[in-house]
Each structure stands twice: as structure tokens, then as C-alpha cells.
Structure 1
Amino acid sequence: MFLKIVENDFKRNKIVTTAVFVFITMAVILASSAINNITNLIQSMSELQKRAVPADITQMHSGEFDQAEIDQFTEEHREDIAMQETMVLLTFDGSNIHFGENQTMAGTVQDISFVVQNQKFDFILDLDNEKLDVREGEVAVPIYFMEQYDLEIGETITVKNGEYVNEFVISDYARDYEMNSSLTSSKRFVLNQADYNEMRVMHAGELEYLIEFKLNENGDSQAVQTAYIEAGLPANGPIVGGKVFMIFNAMSDAAVAMVIILISILLIIIASLCIRLTFLATIDEDLREIGVMKAIGISKKDIKKVYLNKYRIMSLVAGIIGYLLSFAVVNLINGNMRLYISSDLTGNLKYILTLVAPLLVYFLIVIYCKRVLKKFDKISAVEALRSDIMEQKKNRKYSFSLLKNKFFSTNIYMGLRDVWKRFKIYRLLLFIFAVCTFIVILPLNVYNTMNSPEFSTYMGIGKSDMRIDLRKTDTITEDYKKLQEELQNDSDIEKYAAYITSSFHVKNTEGSWDYINIETGDFSVFPLKYLEGRPPEAEGEISLSYANALEDGLDKKVGDEVVVKAGEKEKTLKVTGIYQDITNGGKTAKADTSLGINEEAVLWYILSMDAAEGIDIREKMDYYQKTYESAQVNDIKEYTGQTLGNIIDQMSIVLIGGIAIAVIIIVLITVLFLRMLLSKDMSQIAIMRSVGLTAKNISHQYMAGTLMVLVLGIIFGVLASNYLGDFLVSIAMSSMGAAKIELVNVAWQTWLLCPLSLISIVGITIYVSCKVTVKEDLSVILRS
């Protein structure tokens, strides 16, 4: 009998049942996909690390050095160091790399190097995670450039530098554990040893070195770095720990997984609210039947079981379908992972762990259903047979006379009046509309922020029209001075500022020495937004990045002192400010020009500039790019876009998915809510029709009320995404060095395009839903 009742309930409430089923299925799909994605990420990172054997400490260096000193240092610290290897890089400007029809890589922000495969560790792999073995005349191209320039296997690239010209066939894509991410500023092309030797003999490219250390299982990374500094070994370049590479590799996929989990949690909440709405409607419709069942002696427990079994079956079926579909959905969201980390995502662990999602959703739904069904305990058989018990306890405190309406049409006023009088019912709809708006607006704001020139401030760069980076060449100092003179005399340039970054020694919290990259220049020309304090403006002042100021960094606050050393000279600098920077592991600093530079460890030269009003920026960029071939000229938006790379691509996927999910939720919720509301108001609708109101008039009443709730929901959702969104994104980005993100809010998108789209979708849904219901046979309704 109970199964028959459940079956009839399914048939009677097809729309409601379908809506709830869809929400539960979507929640399971997203939750399972997120768990699947995280499991794949952990397994893939572990496998990639096992195959690539990355360095635990990587010291980048340019200039002469004695390998014998490195070998001696390694032998003296065998208790920590397992292996040491020095990779020699031949570095080229992007303009030296030609492909396709007269195309070059001149616009890239990445440093391009040609290398041969290592022998001991830090191996560069192919897409099957096998150690690359490149034949003569061939080259393995980094995945980053394969995506950016649509390079395919079998195509050719030509390297031209002075008298050296050589053409290479692309044989593989290089999966590089240490330099995969767009956040790392260098990329390695892999050559055969013979081709590499010819390139060196012809003096093509600038020599740079990666002095790498692989530690023992219990090796102390910090101790080795400190000893390396104190030994005065080559350090003309940044030093990077292995954990930074791991974070960069996992960042974009982990971020997507976290967003998906957030959306799936919201979907579970929405599914629970849908069930509540369904129960309210069902109890109203089945009140007499409930009274009959109680009157003939059927227990409360058995009556509840009738309704509970429906959702048990629904959750079970939705869980199975969602679980199976999640494996198809996860392929849509982990394309970046398959490309950059691993193409082989097999293994049984993910199938077992992914089961957690459907089981969790099932138990949450069942527990919630039991809680809602306690409402049955309050209904006696007599009250149920009277059939008006649900109306008796309604609060009729507020009354709005139609005669007092002077501003709205009758139908609109009645709709707004209904919302005010029954706000307890409408508040569920308000919450869901706000959540759906949040799901759309937050990814949109994050996407706009990452694509905005203002995002440069989170990269430790002041906002400007153009940025020129000078590559390390024999003429770099001469080019730097010449470029400043030309900018000074260029009437097309409104203002410019020159910056030099050098590597210094800095005294850490333990009293030993670490490395710190300090940029010197005039920071008042293109100012940053400081979390605390101000930029360095006078001698003896320094500002630190957020990551450097933390307890696990230098543990400094504004007003504290920092001791830095260049050569044998120590200087004590006062911290004047703390800013945000997600580049170079988030650990940078800025100082007044009076600090000077460390001549032996200059890392890079940068010039930022604003063009005068009316000047074509692109044309100006092209001029400086052609005049200074070793320079890299970009506008700030292009620079941030290339640096963030696949993180922006991943966020665009999240944005599209969020919009699709929000639209589905809004349509189904609106249908479900109106189904409940119209069911409760069937008698009232019949009375309105009997006194002459048309179906159109009644539809307009419900449309006015629901659209007002939607507008309120949009307002709350946008405000939540603007304020709560900043907080959530800042938490996620704090590990990268940005602790206070201010999301870019494009007003016409958040306050015009999105609201109008949602209002149109809900308006159409209301019109269709009401049209079907209010045109039912009036005599049948009145008799019932």
C-alpha cells in the first residue's frame, strides 16, 4: 500500500518531484566531481613528483662561478644533501624564436631557455610522464607555449641569434614540474645534446645556471640555504624552494575544486529548502488523507514513512546517477590538470572516495526530511479532517486596504501585499534568489579582477600604461641608461619610472642570513595600494611584501627594522609599509634608491610609463620593441594576463558553469515555489475568478510579488558577492601573498545585465507556470 501511495505521489507531483530530483542530482554531481578532482590532483601531483624528481632547492645564477666550490659544499653537507646538479641554460629573447608565417614569441613575458635533459634529478617529462629523450634536429616545447601559440607536433620553430640560425621539428611537449605554471617566469625548451653543443659553440643565447640540490629524506632545507649564503657561493638570482613549485602546479585546479565544493554545498541547502517547500504543499493537499489515515489508526511513524520513502528512493537514485555522471563532468573541469600534471588519471582510490559525496547527500536529505516531518506530530486527526488547520495559525496582524493604494495598479499592489503578509513563505525564495545571484556575480567579479589592469597592484606593480623589461645581455646596462634618456626626451611619454631589482642578504628571525629581492626606484610615480603604511621615500626606508612580513617570513611590522647586506656592508632599514605581491613566491621588498644596488646580483631592470593623452599606446609599444630588441614591452593588462595564464582560463570555466547552474536553479525553484503557492491558494484563486478577475490579472499578481522578491534577492546577492566575496577570495589568495583583494565590480554587468537577464528568465517562468494553473476548470475547484 505504501509503495502504491509513493508511486501515486510521484505521478501527481511530476514537476515538483523532477525539480527536487534535479537539485539532488546536481549536488551529487558537483560534490563527487570536486572530490574526484581533488583525488586526481593529489595522485597526479604525487606521480609527477615521483617521475620528475624535482629539486628541493634551486638557486638561479647568471655570471661566472666555480663548480668545484659547489661540489666541495655538497660534500661538506652530505647529512642534508643527497645530490647536486647544475643545469646550464641558454637564454633567448622571444624575438629570436620564429614559428608559423613570420611569427615570433616577442610578446611573451616568459624567459625562454634551451637545455638538455638532466642526468640525476629535475627531469623534464613528456605527456606520458616519461623522461624526455629528444633526437637531433628536434625540440620539446613547453606546454605553456604550446597553448599560447597553438604549436603542434610536427611543426617547426627556428632559432635566430646573430650568426646562429637553426630549425627544429617539434617532437614533444615538455611537462616541466619546476616551470609548468605561468606564475613561474621561465620556461625550458629541451634539445638533443649535439644541437645544444652547437648552440653553445656559436655563442647563441645568454648563459644562465640552475644550481640545484636534492635533499635527503630528513634534510634541512633552511640549514642548507643558510650555509650556502654564508659560504658566499654564486647567488646572482633568486633562490626557490621545492614547495613553491608544488603550490604553483596545484593552484588553479585546487581553486576550481574549492569553488565547486562551495557551489555543491549551496545546492544541498537549496535542495533541502525545495523539500521543505514540497512538504508544505503536500501537507496542504493531503491534509484530509492524513486525517483519514490517523482516524483509522495508522501510526505517525508509518504516515511519515510514506513521505520519507519517497525522498529515500529519490536520493538513492539521484545519488547513483550523480555519481556516474560525475566521472563525465570531471573530464570537463580537469583538462588543465591532464595537460599540465598528468594524462593518466587511473586508479581505484578516486572511485571509492567519490562515493563519499552521494552517501553524504543521502544522509543529509534523509535527516532533514525527518526534521521537517515532525510537523505531522502537531496535527491531530480532527484538525486534519477540518482541513483548515494550516490556515488557522497564520498571522493576520497586518492588513493593507486596497482603498489606500495610490501608487500601483490593483494587480501589482495585491502581489506586493501578498509578499508582505506571507513573507515567512517568500523568505525561502528570497534566500535562493540571493544565492543564485551570488553564484553568478562572484566568479564574474573574480574574472574581471584578474583581467583588470588594477590587478597589477597585487603583483607588486603600480598601474601604468606600459612596462619594459630588459633582458640580461652584454648591453643591458647601456640599454637601460639609453632607454631612460630617450624616455626623458620623448614628448609622447607623460611620465616614467625606472626600477632595478637586486638580490641582497637579509637577517632572518633566527639571526642567520637569507636572500631577499629588493627593488629600488621612485615608487611615488606609480604607487601601490598598501595594506599598512606607505612606500619608502627616504634613505634607510624599506617596504615588505605581505608574505615577507608574516611570521614564517621576516616577522616584521611597520616601524620595525630590517638588516640587509650587500657584500660585507650591512645596513639597517626601517619598515615603512606592507604591500601585496603574488609574484616570486610572494617574497619581495622595495627600497629607496639611496640603498643602491648589489652590482654582483642584479636580477632585472624594469621601466614603467604612461603615454600622453591621445597617443596610440600599441604603436608606442611597437616602436620601443623594435628599437630595443633585447627588451620585452607589454601593457599591464597583457602582462598580468600572461602571468596568470591558465588560472584565468580555469576561472572562465567556473564562470560559465556558475551561470548555467544558477539559471537551472532559478527556473526550477520558481516553478516549484509557484506550484506550492498556487496549490495553497487554489480556493482564493477560484474566488477571484468568480468575481470577474481574469487569468491574466491573477498571473500579474503573482508575477509582481515574485519579481519583487527576485529584485530584493539580486540586491542582497550582489552586495554579498561584493563584500563577502572580497573576504573569501582574500583567504584563498593569502597563501600566495595577497591578503586583501578588492574585486573589480563592473557596474553595468552586476547591476544591469545580470539583473535584467534573471528578471527575464523568472518572468517567463512565472508567466508559463501561472498560465497553466489559473485556467483550470473553476467548477471543479469550487466543488473541492
Structure 2
Amino acid sequence: MLIRMLRRDWLRNKSISAALLVFIALSALLASSGANMIAELSNSLGALFAKSGVPHYVQMHAGEVDRAYIDRWARDNSLVRQHQTAEMIRIEDAHLALGDKSTVGSGGVMDHYFVRQNPYFDLLLNLDSQVIQVKRGEVAVPIYYKQRDGLEIGDKVRIAAQGFDMELTVSEFVRDVQMNPSIIHSKRFVVDERDFARLNGSGIGEREYLIEFQLKDAAKLGEFRTAYETSSLPKLGPAIDHTLFRTLNALTDGLLAAVILLVSFLIGAIAILCLRFTILAAIEEDYREIGVMKAIGIAPKEIRKLYLLKYVMTAAIASVIGYATSLLLHPLFTRNIMLYIGTAPKGPALQLVPIAAAFFIFAIVVLFCMLTLRRFNRISAVEALRSGTAGEARPSGTKPSLHRSRTLSVPLFLAVKDIVGRFKMYRMLLFVFIISSFIMLVPINFFHTVQSPDFNNYMGIEKSDLRIDLQHAGSAEDDYERILGQLKNDSDVERYAAVLVGSFKTIGAEGALENMTVETGDFTTFQLEYLQGAAPSRADEIALSYLNGQEMEKKVGDPILLIVDGRETTLKVSGIYQDVTNGGRTAKAALPVRPETVLRYELAVDLKPGVDVAAKREQYAQEMNPAKVTDLAGYMAQTFGNTIDQLRLVTRVATAVALLVSALITALFLKMAVAKDAGQIAIMRSIGFSLRHLRIQYATRALIVLAVGIAVGTVLSNTAGQSVAGFAMSFMGAARIQFAIDPLQAYVLYPLLLLAAVSVTALVSLVSIRKMNISEMNAT
């Protein structure tokens, strides 16, 4: 009997039943996809670390090393399980041609290191997560170039300079546990021992080293770091550890997951409202039948069971559909993870994660149904049989009068009057439209912010027309002086400023010496926006990145002890700035730097008005070799290109979801409103109102509420949305995000898309307003 009743109900209410099915399925789909993505990222990253043998501590060093001394020190340190010193040959971008380029390139920000496969750990893997073994004449290329340049197996890589010419064939693509992400400007190419020896003897590249350690107990990393930093081992370069590797590898997909979680949370809020609308619409349609069942003695509890069974079955079917669809869309959401990190077999627990997420949606639906269906206790059998519709509270306040309206047409006036008089009913629709606008605008605004030239403020670099980077190696000091002279004598240059990046020792909270990467130079010519305070302008001042300030528990005005020229020097924190590069841990100061401690040179250049920036960049790239010359847009694209691609996917998904949810809730709301107003509609038809006028009334109600919702949603996305984005980015080094808004998209294009979706849905839904007359009203 119950099955027959459910079948008749489905056939009688196809639109509502189908809409509810679609919505719950959508909720289950998003929940399962988000949970699956997080599980996949965690599992795959753990497998990549295990397969490659991630080092716990790595010291990069530019210059020669004493391998024997490093070996002795490692053997004598009881914390070390194994170690290795990996030699790398850095090839300048100007000497390297990838793929179908006929000439060598210029202008890239990446450092290209040619290496051999490591013998013990920190193994470089291919796309099948197998240890790479290349033959003579072959090269394994980082995944970054496969994605950026479209390289394929069989393409050529050419190294040419100073009479040296080597052509290699791409045989594999490299998954590198250390240097995978685009935000890391170092990339490793794997070649055969004989090709490496040939490169090493050519003299066209600089040798650098990775001094790597695996510890017996990773929990003692802090103790080991202190031991290394207080030793006389090589330190001319950044030191990084496995926790930073995990953070940087998860950065892009973690950012994507954070935005998806935000959208999922908002969709969950709308899900509850849509479910409530659906149940109320069903009650409106079945109000007389409910009264009849009560009148013949059926207990409210039994009536609730009939409806609850319908929604339990609907929720179960929809959750299964949502989960199954998430499996089909799994490659779309995890394609970046599969490319850069790879996939790994998941145990039963991880395989249950998306199922548990779908079941959670099912449980929430059932629980909310049970709470909403308590409304049956308040239904009067007499009132239901007499009126046939649910009553509503009388509106409070003064209602507008038709005879006083001089500007609004009758249908428009009646629509406004109804919204004012029954605002309690419309506020749910308003809330949904606000959230839908928020869902669309926050991702799109964040997407444009990451693409904006002003994103330099979150990278800790000053805004300029051109940026020149020079690594410390070989004749770097002479090259630096030559570049300074060229900039000084170039009439196209309006201003420039130089920054030297060096490594200093600071005294940590526990009194141990710690390395700190500090930029020193002129920070007044090119201004950076600071969260607190200002740039250092005196020799006794230092500015800290946000994460450095958090970890060191320092704020503006606090003292910091730094070892400068062998002496303890007390510096005062002048400001706190945001920086998502270098793990978010940097500092700026006006300190003297010894040339032998310089890690790299950075120069910011502004050109005079009218000078072609692209042409000047190409000129400098040729003349200032081996320095890397980029404009800010190119620097951003190469550093965050992968992140931007992921955010583009999120904006498309969020937009589609917002439009679908808005259309769905509009259809449900109008169907409920028409059912509630059946008698009123029949009276209006009998006194001469046309179907067109009636449809305009109801469509206008939805569109007025939508206009208010878009306005409020826009304000919220630019205020609360920025706070949410700042909270997510604070873990990466940027705590206060200021959206860079594209007015055409944020205020015109996307609101018009929402308007179109709601308008079309309203017109289609209002076809149900047929030729109602007085007899039909009495029948209801």
C-alpha cells in the first residue's frame, strides 16, 4: 500500500519530487567530491613521500663542499639515519630550449638544475610513481613544463652556449617531492651519468649542492636543525624540511579544497532551506488530504511516517546518485593531484570517506524532515477541510494602497504589496539568493585577485615594471655591478632599487641559533603594503613576514636578536607584511651584507612612461644574462599559473552550482506560492486579470527579491568574503586579502546570469497558472 501511495505521489508531483531528488543528489555530489579530494590528496601525498624517500632536512648550497667532512659529521651525529650530498648543474634559461623552440629561451623565473638520480633517498619518480632511470641521450623533464609548455614524450631539449651543443630526448616526466609546485622556482631535470659528466665538464653551468638528511626520529627535527645551524657545515642557501615540503606540495590543491569547502558549507545552508520549501510545498498541495486523514482518526504520527518514508526514499536514491556521480567527476577534481602527486591504493577507511559524506547528507535530510514534519501537530482538521490551504500570519505594519500608487503598474504594485505583506515567507527566498550571489562572487573575486598585478603585496615583493633576479654563483658579484651600471646609464629607466638576499642567524625562543633569510637594501623607492607598521628605514630596524611574526611571537616594536658580522645586534620590528613565497617565512632589513653570504640579488625597475615594457624585458634578458628578467605579470603567471588554473575550475563549478540552486529554489518557491494562492488567483481571474498579468506579478516578486539578494550578496562577498579568504590564506602567509574586483564581471555579467536563470525558471514554473475560475476556487 505504501509503495502504491508513493508511486501515485511521485506521478502527481513530478516537478517537486524531481527537484528534491536533484538537489539532494547535488548536495551529496559536492560533499562526496570534496571529501574524496581531501582523502586523495592526503593519501597520494603520503604515498609520494614514502615512495620517493622524502628527506627530513635539506640544505641548499651554492659553492664547493667538503664531502668527507659532511660524511664524518653525519656519522658522528646520533640523530642521522642516512645522508647524501647531491650535485646539481644549474643551466640558465638563456641556454635552454624546450620542445619545439628553435632557439634558446629567455625571461623565465625558474632555475633549471640537471641532476643524476639519487642513490638512497629523495628519489625522482615518473608519472607511474616509479624510480626514473634514463639512458644516454635522454632526459626526464619536470611535470611543470609538461603542463606549461605542453611537452610530450619524444620532444627535444637543447642546451647550447659557448660552442657547446647538446640535444636530449624527453623520455619521462619528473615527480619531485621537493620541487614539484610552481611556487618553487627550482626544477630538476634527470639525465644519464655520462650526459651529466659532459655537462659538468662543459663549463656552461654553475654547480650547486643539496645536502640531505633522513633522521631516525622525525620528531627530533628541531634538535637536528639546531645542531646543523651551529656547525661549520655549508649553509650558503636556504634550508628546508619535510614539513615545508608537505605544505608546498599541498598548497595549490589545498587552496582549491579550501574554496570547495567554503562553497560546500554555503550549499549545505541552502540545502536545508530548499528541503523546507519542498516539504512546505507538499503540505500546501496536500493540505485538504491531511485534514481528511486527521478527520477519520489517523494519528499525526502515522501521517508523518507516510511523508517521512517518501523523503527517506528520495534522500536515499539521491544520495546514491550523488555519490555515483562524484565517482564519475573524480578525475576532474583530482586531475592536478593525479598529475603532480600521483595516485595510490586507498585502504577501506579512505574508500569509505566519500560514502560517509554522502550518508551524512542523507542523515541531515532525514533529521531535518523529522523536525519540519512536526508541523502536522499544528494542522487543524476543521480548518484544513474548510479552507484547503495553510493559513499565514497577518502582516504587521502599514500596507501600501493601490489608489495611492501613481508610478507602479497594477501587477507590479500587487507584487511589491505581497512581498511587504508576507515578508516572512519571502525571507527564505531572499536568503537563498544572497548565498547564491556569495557563492558566485567570492570565488570569481578571489580568482581575479590572484591574477591581479597587485597580488605582489601577498608575495612580499614590491610592484615594479620589471624584476631582475640573479643567483649567487661564479661571477655573480661582477654581473650584479655590471647590471647596476647598465640601469644607471639607461635613459629609459625612471627608477630602480636593489635588494640583496642573505642568510643571518637569529636567537630563537629557546636560546638556540636559527637561520633567517633576510632581504637587505632599499625598501623606500618601491613601496610594499604592510599589515602593520612600515618598511625598515634604519640600520636597527627589521620587518617580518606574517608567518615569521606569528611563529616568533613578535609584533611591531618588539626586539629581535640577530648575529651581524659576528656580533649580537638588537633590531626593532618596524612592520609586518604578507608573503606566500618561501614558505611564508622572510624578513627585510637595512643591514650590511658580506658578498660571500649573499644568496641572490633582486632588482626592481620602473621604466619611463611610453617605454615598451615587453621590448625592454627582451633586451635586458639578452644583455643581462645570466640574470632572469621578468615583468610582474610574467612572474605571477609562472609562479601561480597552476593555482590560477585550479581556481578557474572552482569558479566555473561554483557558478554552475549557484545558478542551478537559484533556479531550483525559485521553481519550488513559486510552485508553493501558487498552491497557497490558488483561491486568490481564481478570484483575480474571475474579475478580469489576464494570465499574463498574474504571471508578471509572481515573476516580479521573485525578481525583486533577487535584486535585493544580489545587492546584499555583493556587499557580503566584498566584506565577509574577504575575511574568509584571508583566514584560508593566513596559513600560507597572507592574512588580510583585499579583493581585486572586475566590475564588469562582478557587477554586470554574473548578476545578469543569475537574473536570466531566475527569470527563465519563473516563466517556466508559472505555466501552471491556468484558467482558474470561481468554481475551481470553491473546489479547492
* Residue 19 (structure 2) pairs with residue 23 (structure 1): no
* Residue 435 (structure 2) pairs with residue 435 (structure 1): yes
Note the residue ranges of structure 1 that are not aligned, 5 or more in a row: none
Counterparts of 1:282 and 1:658, CA distance in 2: 29
Counterparts of 2:575 and 2:260, CA distance in 1: 36
Counterpart position of 2:693: 697
Deviation at 1:778, TM superposition (A): 7.1
Indicate conservation of the 8 Å contact 2:502/2:593, yes or no: yes
Counterpart position of 1:121: 121
Indicate conservation of the 8 Å contact 2:43/2:346, yes or no: no
3-state SS of paired residue (2:217): coil
Counterpart position of 1:500: 500
Counterpart position of 1:477: 477
Deviation per residue, 1:8-42 (Å, 9 max, x gap): 22112111111111110011111111111112112
* Residue 765 (structure 2) pairs with residue 769 (structure 1): yes
Letter in 1 for 2:86: M
* Residue 601 (structure 2) pairs with residue 612 (structure 1): no
Deviation at 1:118, TM superposition (A): 0.8
Counterparts of 1:348 and 1:583, CA distance in 2: 37
Counterparts of 1:645 and 1:33, CA distance in 2: 24
Indicate conservation of the 8 Å contact 1:161/1:205, yes or no: no
Indicate conservation of the 8 Å contact 2:288/2:388, yes or no: no
Letter in 1 for 2:85: T
Distance 1:32 1:614, change over 3 A: same
Counterparts of 1:378 and 1:104, CA distance in 2: 79
Deviation per residue, 1:238-268 (Å, 9 max, x gap): 1111111111111222332333333333333
3-state SS of paired residue (1:709): helix
Indicate conservation of the 8 Å contact 1:154/1:171, yes or no: yes
* Residue 683 (structure 2) pairs with residue 687 (structure 1): yes
Counterpart position of 1:150: 150
Deviation per residue, 1:718-750 (Å, 9 max, x gap): 122111111111121112111111121222221
Counterpart position of 1:732: 728
Indicate conservation of the 8 Å contact 1:206/1:472, yes or no: no
* Residue 79 (structure 2) pairs with residue 83 (structure 1): no
**Aligned mate of 1:575, from 542, 560, 573:** 573
* Residue 568 (structure 2) pairs with residue 586 (structure 1): no
Indicate conservation of the 8 Å contact 2:448/2:741, yes or no: yes
Counterparts of 2:698 and 2:389, CA distance in 1: 24
Deviation at 1:488, TM superposition (A): 2.4
Deviates more, 1:263-272 or 1:246-255: 263-272
Counterparts of 1:750 and 1:766, CA distance in 2: 23
Counterparts of 1:525 and 1:684, CA distance in 2: 71
3-state SS of paired residue (1:500): strand
Counterpart position of 2:97: 98
* Residue 172 (structure 2) pairs with residue 176 (structure 1): no
Indicate conservation of the 8 Å contact 1:549/1:578, yes or no: yes
Deviation at 1:566, TM superposition (A): 4.1
Letter in 1 for 2:420: W
Indicate conservation of the 8 Å contact 2:57/2:214, yes or no: yes
Counterpart position of 2:620: 624
1:654-669 mapped onto 2 (5 Å cutoff): 654-669=650-665
Deviation at 1:774, TM superposition (A): 4.1
Counterpart position of 1:231: 231
Deviation at 1:362, TM superposition (A): 1.3
3-state SS of paired residue (2:531): strand
Deviation at 1:48, TM superposition (A): 0.7
Deviation per residue, 1:407-462 (Å, 9 max, x gap): 32222121111111111111111111111111111110111011011111111111
Counterparts of 2:492 and 2:147, CA distance in 1: 35
1:164-313 mapped onto 2 (5 Å cutoff): 164-217=164-217, 220-313=220-313
Counterparts of 1:761 and 1:380, CA distance in 2: 38
Letter in 2 for 1:571: T
Counterpart position of 1:328: 328
Counterparts of 2:97 and 2:370, CA distance in 1: 68
Indicate conservation of the 8 Å contact 1:729/1:741, yes or no: yes
3-state SS of paired residue (2:488): helix
Deviates more, 1:406-415 or 1:512-521: 406-415
Deviation per residue, 1:281-317 (Å, 9 max, x gap): 2222222211111111111111111111110000010
**Aligned mate of 1:602, from 591, 598, 602:** 598
Deviation per residue, 1:590-635 (Å, 9 max, x gap): 112xx11132221111111222222211111111112112121111
3-state SS of paired residue (1:61): strand
Deviates more, 1:259-268 or 1:653-662: 259-268
Indicate conservation of the 8 Å contact 2:266/2:439, yes or no: no
**Aligned mate of 1:556, from 554, 570, 575:** 554
Deviates more, 1:446-455 or 1:268-277: 268-277
Deviation per residue, 1:448-493 (Å, 9 max, x gap): 0110111111111111121111234433222222222222232322
Counterparts of 2:650 and 2:771, CA distance in 1: 41
Deviation at 1:213, TM superposition (A): 0.9
Indicate conservation of the 8 Å contact 1:503/1:598, yes or no: no
Deviates more, 1:612-621 or 1:397-406: 397-406
Indicate conservation of the 8 Å contact 1:467/1:633, yes or no: yes
Indicate conservation of the 8 Å contact 2:139/2:169, yes or no: yes
Counterpart position of 1:380: 380
Counterparts of 1:616 and 1:334, CA distance in 2: 41
Counterparts of 1:30 and 1:775, CA distance in 2: 41
Letter in 2 for 1:430: L
Deviation at 1:350, TM superposition (A): 3.3
3-state SS of paired residue (1:502): strand
Deviates more, 1:229-238 or 1:446-455: 229-238
Counterparts of 1:24 and 1:313, CA distance in 2: 11
Counterpart position of 1:716: 712
Distance 1:143 1:778, change over 3 A: farther
Counterparts of 2:280 and 2:305, CA distance in 1: 16
Counterparts of 1:670 and 1:7, CA distance in 2: 25
* Residue 518 (structure 2) pairs with residue 522 (structure 1): no
3-state SS of paired residue (1:220): helix
Deviation at 1:50, TM superposition (A): 0.8
Indicate conservation of the 8 Å contact 1:23/1:267, yes or no: no
Letter in 2 for 1:668: L
Distance 1:713 1:103, change over 3 A: farther
Counterparts of 1:667 and 1:641, CA distance in 2: 36
Distance 1:502 1:154, change over 3 A: same
3-state SS of paired residue (2:528): coil
Letter in 1 for 2:318: A
Indicate conservation of the 8 Å contact 1:274/1:669, yes or no: yes
Letter in 2 for 1:590: K
Deviates more, 1:757-766 or 1:47-56: 757-766
Indicate conservation of the 8 Å contact 1:128/1:344, yes or no: no
Deviation at 1:65, TM superposition (A): 2.5
Counterpart position of 1:4: 4
**Aligned mate of 1:633, from 629, 632, 652:** 629
Deviation at 1:657, TM superposition (A): 0.6
Indicate conservation of the 8 Å contact 2:154/2:169, yes or no: yes
Letter in 2 for 1:584: N
Counterparts of 2:134 and 2:713, CA distance in 1: 54
Counterparts of 2:252 and 2:318, CA distance in 1: 29
Indicate conservation of the 8 Å contact 1:81/1:219, yes or no: no
Deviation at 1:280, TM superposition (A): 2.0
Indicate conservation of the 8 Å contact 1:319/1:359, yes or no: yes
Deviation per residue, 1:677-716 (Å, 9 max, x gap): 1111122122222222211111221222211110111112
Counterpart position of 2:643: 647
Indicate conservation of the 8 Å contact 2:281/2:668, yes or no: no
Letter in 2 for 1:503: S
Indicate conservation of the 8 Å contact 1:466/1:608, yes or no: yes
Number of aligned residue pairs: 779
Counterparts of 1:324 and 1:104, CA distance in 2: 48
